[in-house]
Amino acid sequence: MDDIVKKNLLYDFYGELLTEHQRLIYEDAVYNDCSLSELASEYNISRQGVHDLLKRCDRLLEDYEDKLGLVSRFEVMRQLAGRIEEISTDEEVRNLAHKIIEAL
């Protein structure tokens, strides 16, 4: 899985478990592609502090995934729904599988 996609999925599932400060900086870094210097200036902390915070957030999100496995389960469900959509000959089943994929 692409690193950016993985970070986004981990954040989507577990981001609310981070502190507000962590969330703000992590969102700016991942979603807004802000540099360490930009973040350090905006949040009035050192570049090293930003770097450490981002690494800590990545570790926390990975730890949550290791313990809970929600992203892995999500990926499996998406793959299974896609497979059902591919092999089904029943139009109603195909449409339902397609709706499940869109909902995921």
Shared domain check, 52 and 22: yes
Q: Which of 88, 76, 74, 75 is closest to 97 using CA atoms? A: 88
Instruction: Kindly give the parts of the chain with pLDDT less than 50.
Output: none
pTM of the predicted protein model:
0.79
**pLDDT tens track for 49-79:** 999 999 999 999 999 999 999 999 999 888 8
Shared domain check, 47 and 63: yes
Distance CA 4, CA 98 (A): 25
Distance CA 17, CA 15 (A): 5
pLDDT at 63: 98
Distance CA 56, CA 76 (A): 27
The parent domain of residue 90 ranges over 69-104
Shared domain check, 12 and 58: yes
pLDDT at 79: 87
Shared domain check, 54 and 19: yes
Q: How many domains does the chain have?
A: 2
Shared domain check, 48 and 32: yes
Shared domain check, 48 and 2: yes
pLDDT at 88: 74
